[in-house]
């Protein structure tokens, strides 16, 4: 099939690195939806990073809030005439647009930190498990099985009940939920690689196992792990939003998108829909954009997996 870049992983192909990257880029660009998703993702990243400079108001600076401006519909002008609330204001007179930018920051930080940590822990466990096999493998994989047999939302709920509220605690809970997916994928990929000739050659050179594992096997396991990482990034952001919505996630002082939606929920019935609606749209766009990218990456990197 012409859509295979798996060859990228094989050391038998001495093509220069740059052209492979270009090949990959060309393949990625073959799906307009995935490109659109990537554009949105980059846009949201920029918005989150530069939030303090873009946002018309700092929603945490309580002194700047004017309680007369609370629950204004989108497009209203503030009572001192200084700014327009394009997306309206919430119950505490915060500009919804500014709150979204800051909320986006928290959501994305939780997502990226969670996935990086889960990737590191999971890949280490998976690679060690595959490389040594035997009892270590059986033990580690049994732990992974137990972990995966509990649904993510339940494990996170119970953990957060123990740990309490806080951005860092949400991250611990999400890492505890997600590392197992990486461990399983890394082990699967590494077991295939372990018996290939280049690994045998490396063993013959009596390189240390750490070196073989990280410098030889690991780079070839990256493609499937990247797919998992993208999908889990979207998953982590959605899960954090759900937990915050249920009231066990981030504290009120550091509202993520899920928290903003939860706050707006009570006003929705009385018709002030914009307080929950616009953060909801932002959340949906982020999650869908990441999933569009992930879905296409999966098509490119493992064409056999059709589901």
Partner 1 sequence: MSALVFTALYLVGDPVSMLASPEATDAERELIRQSLGLDLPLWRQYLIFLNKALVHLDFGNSFLTGEPAMRLILDRMPATLELATAAMALAVLIGVPLGIYAGLKPESLGARSVMTSSVLGFSLPNFWVGLMLIMVFAVFLHWLPAGGRGPVETFGPIQLSIFSWEGWRSLILPVTTIATAKCALIIRVTRAATRECLPLDYIKFARARGLSEARVLGVHLLKNILIPIVTIAGLEYGQVFAFAVVTESVFSWPGIGKLLIDSIITLDRPVVVAYLMLTVVFLSLLNLVVDIIYTILDPRVQAKAGA
154 near partner 1, judged by CB under 8 A: yes
Q: How far is the CB of 303 from partner 1 (least distance, A)?
A: 12
For partner 1, which residue of 55, 207, 246, 302 counts as binding (CB under 8 A)? Answer: 246
Q: Does 269 bind partner 1 (CB under 8 A)?
A: yes
Binding of residue 5 to partner 1 (CB under 8 A): no
Q: Which of 14, 16, 81, 271 binds partner 1 (CB under 8 A)?
A: 271
Residue selected from 140, 291, 297, 301 as contacting partner 1 according to rule CB under 8 A? 291
Q: Does 107 bind partner 1 (CB under 8 A)?
A: no
Residues constituting the chain: 307
User: Is there binding between residue 265 and partner 1 (CB under 8 A)?
Assistant: yes
* 161 contributes a contact to partner 1 by CB under 8 A: yes
Interface with partner 1, residue 11, by CB under 8 A: no
Q: Using the rule CB under 8 A, which residue among 25, 162, 204, 205 binds partner 1?
A: 162
C-beta of 273: minimal distance to partner 1 in Å? 6
Query: Angle at Cα 285 formed by Cα 284 and Cα 286, nearest 5°?
Result: 90
Residue 306 interacting with partner 1 (CB under 8 A): yes
* Residue 42 near partner 1 by CB under 8 A: no
Is residue 81 part of the contact set for partner 1 (CB under 8 A)? no
Mark the segment that binds partner 1 (CB under 8 A) among 90-98, 116-124, 137-145, 234-242.
Answer: 234-242
Stretch that binds partner 1, among 103-111, 137-145, 214-222, 246-254 (CB under 8 A): 246-254
Angle of the 274-301 helix axis to the 96-132 helix axis, nearest 10: 30
Residues contributing to the site for partner 1 (CB under 8 A): 33, 151, 153-154, 157-158, 161-162, 234, 238-239, 241-242, 245-248, 258, 261, 265, 268-269, 271, 273, 276-277, 280, 283-284, 287-288, 290-292, 295, 306-307
């Amino acid at each position: 099939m012409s859509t295979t870049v798996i060859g990228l992983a094989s050391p038998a192909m001495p093509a220069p690195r740059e052209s492979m990257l270009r090949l990959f880029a060309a393949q990625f660009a073959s799906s307009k939806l995935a490109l659109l998703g990537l554009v949105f993702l980059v846009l949201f990243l920029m918005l989150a990073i530069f939030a303090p400079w873009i946002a018309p108001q700092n929603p945490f600076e309580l002194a700047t809030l004017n309680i007369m401006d609370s629950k204004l519909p989108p497009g209203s002008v503030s009572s001192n005439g200084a700014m327009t609330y394009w997306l309206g204001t919430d119950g505490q007179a915060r500009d919804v647009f500014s709150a979204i930018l800051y909320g986006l920051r928290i959501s994305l930080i939780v997502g990226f930190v969670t996935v990086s940590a889960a990737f590191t822990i999971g890949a280490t466990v998976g690679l060690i498990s595959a490389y040594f096999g035997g009892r270590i493998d059986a033990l580690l994989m049994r732990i992974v099985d137990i972990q995966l047999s509990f649904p993510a939302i339940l494990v996170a709920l119970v953990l957060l009940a123990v740990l309490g509220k806080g951005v860092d605690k949400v991250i611990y809970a999400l890492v505890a939920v997600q590392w197992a997916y990486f461990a399983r994928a890394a082990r699967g990929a590494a077991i295939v690689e372990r018996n290939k000739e280049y690994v045998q050659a490396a063993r013959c050179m009596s390189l240390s196992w750490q070196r073989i594992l990280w410098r030889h096997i690991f780079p070839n396991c990256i493609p499937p792990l990247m797919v998992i990482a993208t999908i889990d990034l979207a998953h982590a952001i959605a899960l954090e939003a759900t937990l915050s919505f249920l009231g066990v996630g981030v504290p009120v002082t550091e509202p993520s998108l899920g928290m903003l939606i939860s706050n707006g929920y009570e006003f929705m019935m009385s018709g002030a829909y914009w307080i929950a609606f616009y953060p909801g749209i932002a959340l949906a766009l982020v999650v869908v954009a990441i999933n569009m990218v992930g879905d296409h990456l999966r098509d490119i990197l493992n064409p056999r997996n059709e589901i």
